[in-house]
């Protein structure tokens, strides 16, 4: 009887675990890169924010603060490289929405606007990123690649990015 009680308690605990919203942060690392005849061992490091309902991923967002001095800047087209001079910060985001009725790319873009970022097109960089050998390891084929440009100088001098989706814990990362 005691075993049955413990088993029932475990099942109820697992069931309740799957019924709440949770968030996590971390990083995704893509090692090495190639552009024409050049190759380099540097890593492309993305900061990661994820939103779950129980064990189900609702939304996943990866952030890379683009650096004109990085060898990965070779992946930007000449037009895309203009954003380095037009923007205080240029972010590359790689985002996935499992169910747009829960959390959508539009909701994410609105959160980025609240942080002072406007979306920009980075087709060339996106092509190189999707062709990276590690992109398939991270299953990026269902992810949307978008650039975000912070045009106005930061008023508070903060390098944090805050995202707040309804019914989820407020998340912040340092860029």
Per-residue pLDDT tens, the chain, 175 aa: give them.
Answer: 666 666 555 565 555 555 589 999 999 999 999 999 999 999 999 999 999 998 899 999 999 999 999 999 999 999 999 999 999 999 999 999 999 999 999 999 999 999 999 999 999 999 999 888 776 666 777 899 999 999 876 655 567 899 999 999 999 998 8
Which pLDDT does position 140 carry in this prediction? 72
Q: Please report the pLDDT score of residue 133 as a whole number.
A: 78
Which tokens hold the place of 3?
A: 């075993």
CB atoms within 10 A of CB 142: 9
pLDDT of residue 7: 58
Q: Which of 43, 129, 125, 131 is nearest to 90 (CA)?
A: 125
Measured at the alpha carbon of residue 126, what is the angle toward residues 120 and 131, in degrees to the nearest 5? 180
Task: Report the pLDDT value the prediction gives residue 3, as an integer from 0 to 100.
Answer: 65
Q: Give residue 132's pLDDT.
A: 83
pLDDT of 164 reads 94
pLDDT recorded at residue 8: 58
């Amino acid at each position: 009887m005691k075993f049955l009680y413990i088993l029932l308690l475990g099942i109820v605990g697992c069931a309740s675990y799957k019924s709440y919203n949770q968030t996590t942060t971390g990083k995704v690392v893509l090692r090495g890169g190639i552009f024409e005849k050049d190759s380099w061992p540097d890593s492309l490091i993305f900061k990661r924010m994820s939103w779950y309902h129980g064990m189900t991923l609702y939304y996943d967002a990866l952030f890379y603060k683009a650096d004109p001095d990085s060898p990965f800047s070779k992946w930007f087209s000449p037009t895309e490289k203009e954003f380095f001079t037009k923007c205080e910060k240029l972010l590359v985001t790689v985002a996935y929405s499992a169910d747009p009725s829960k959390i959508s790319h539009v909701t994410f873009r609105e959160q980025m606007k609240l942080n002072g970022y406007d979306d920009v097109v980075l087709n060339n960089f996106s092509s190189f990123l999707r062709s990276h050998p590690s992109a398939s390891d991270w299953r990026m084929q269902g992810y949307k690649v978008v650039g975000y440009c912070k045009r106005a100088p930061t008023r508070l001098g903060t390098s944090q990015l805050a995202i707040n989706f309804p019914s989820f814990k407020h998340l912040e990362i340092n860029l």
